Amino acid sequence: MVEIKTDASLDAMRVAGRIVAQALTAVRERAAVGVTLRELDLVARAVLTEADAGSPFLGYRPTWAPVPFPAVICASVNDTIVHGIPDDYALRDGDLVSVDCGASTGGWVGDSAVSFTVGRARPEDTRLVDTAFAALDAGIAAAVVGNRVGDIAHAIGRVCRRAGYGIPDGFGGHGVGRTMHEDPGVPNEGRPGRGMPLRHGMVLAIEPMLIASGTDDHYTARDGWAVVTSDGSRAAHAEHTVAITDEGPRILTQL
């Protein structure tokens, strides 16, 4: 069931979204060669604590997960696409990092992700990350009243495929509101004009995920959480929580 949010609810979600943006900004500023993923998680925890916000990630356990998620961010490095658990891995020069973060406050949730390189960026990684954000922008531009979920999916997929990148099967965006994952699902590839109509008050997490080699194949790591490219190629992930409004898309997870 899709909950249509009131304008007051959208304003309340904007508060949660701004906290997510602050956490991701702080994490990105802290990320450097030698810094561990666990340290980045502590940075995000400090931002949430300062804002008196909770984490929808910490303790989250969907039916397929062997254990509850133990952190407030997902930190996915190089060939890990999403759901990487922050550990004692120390970042190296040239690493490509994707960080996903959520915040809950006032009964509402925000969810966003960024990808970036640490130290000296390889040109091919810069192109991959830039394309992830271009796909996100395309998806957001299609998130307008009168369109359908398939229009968002098509816009994302077209950018990714034209650049020669893969799109991991079975992963995409979702509704956001009182919980982190709500209806409807938002695929990263699809046919325009199909799917649920977009209405004022719907809120969606739009999140392209790209695989550099062009394959769509992936597997789940032994920890039961991290999703990894099958061929070892690098991946990027970009995400915003976006409200559908009569005035156009409203990005809730930006500073």
- Residue list, annotated binding site for substrate: 83, 181
Calpha distance 16→21 (Å, rounded): 9
Distances from the Cα of 163 to the Cα of 148, 152, 192, 216, angstroms: 24, 17, 19, 14
Query: Angle at the Cα of 227 (from 153 to 186), degrees rounded to 5?
Result: 20
- Element at 110 (helix H, strand E): strand 108-117
- Tell me 53's DSSP state: -
pLDDT tens digit at each of 255 positions of the chain:
899 999 999 999 999 999 999 999 999 999 999 999 999 999 999 999 999 999 999 999 999 999 999 999 999 999 999 999 999 999 999 999 999 999 999 999 999 999 999 999 999 999 999 999 999 999 999 999 999 999 999 999 999 999 999 999 999 999 999 999 999 999 999 999 999 999 999 999 999 999 999 999 999 999 999 999 999 999 999 999 999 999 999 999 999
pLDDT at 157: 98
> Mutual orientation of helices 123-141 and 149-162 as an angle, nearest 10°?
160
pLDDT value of position 191: 97
Residue 21, classified by CB atoms within 10 Å of its CB into exposed (0-12), middle (13-18) or buried (19+), is buried
Q: Is the pTM of this model over 0.85?
A: yes
Measuring CA to CA, which residue among 116, 238, 102 is closest to residue 176? 102
Binding residues: 83, 100, 111, 174, 181, 207, 239
- Domain locations along the chain: 7-251
Binding residue positions for a divalent metal cation? 100, 111, 174, 207, 239
The pLDDT, as a whole number, for residue 221 is 97
pLDDT at 180: 97
Report the CATH number of the 7-251 domain. 3.90.230.10
